[in-house]
Amino acid sequence: QVQLQESGPGLVKPSQTLSLTCTVSGGSISSGDYFWSWIRQPPGKGLEWIGYIYYSGRTYYNPSLKSRVTISVDLSKNQFSLKLNSSTAADTAVYYCTTDGGDFWGQGTLVTVSS
């Protein structure tokens, strides 16, 4: 059973880079079984798909965020990461890491963008 756990700062200052890491256990990113996604949910609102990465490093980003997003993978640590630069209050959300099919999710981590 694949398990995912998000980690990273819970508070980011405006204009700074939001950085999160997802640690995968119970399975190997290198297996190629999944694409690995990031999804976010502003407080009280719906879900937004941010993008995904494959073990090869192949990525796809939502065009709405493409200019500010980077997703990377570290196979040696079985982790993948999200960077969102030029953060604003609109980026305040619970961020989830998931498998692309939606069958496995992390618990989510709240990131607040505020000075």
Partner 1 sequence: DIQMTQSPSSLSASVGDRVSITCQASQDISKFLNWYQQKPGKAPKLLISDASNLETGVPSRFSGSGSGTVFTFTISSLQPEDIATYYCQQYGHLPYSFGQGTKLEI
Only segment of 25-33, 68-76, 79-87, 96-104 that touches partner 1 (CB under 8 A) = 96-104
Choose which of 60, 68, 78, 85 interacts with partner 1 (CB under 8 A). Answer: 60
Here the tokens at position 98 are: 């998931």
Choose which of 38, 73, 106, 111 interacts with partner 1 (CB under 8 A). Answer: 106
Only segment of 12-20, 67-75, 85-93, 101-109 that touches partner 1 (CB under 8 A) = 101-109
The tokens 């059973």 sit on which residue?
1
Please report how close the Cβ of residue 16 comes to partner 1 at its closest, in angstroms: 25
Q: How would you label 66-86 residue by residue, b for 16+ Cβ within 10 Å and e otherwise? A: eebbbbebeeeebbbbbebee
Q: Does position 48 bind partner 1 by CB under 8 A?
A: yes
Of residues 51 and 87, the one with the C-beta less far from partner 1: 51
Q: Can you point out the beta strands (E) in the chain?
A: 3-7, 11-12, 18-25, 36-41, 48-53, 59-61, 69-74, 79-84, 93-99, 109-113
Q: Are strands 109-113 and 11-12 parallel, antiparallel or unpaired?
A: parallel
Residues that bind partner 1 (CB under 8 A): 37, 46-49, 51, 60-64, 96, 100-103, 105-108
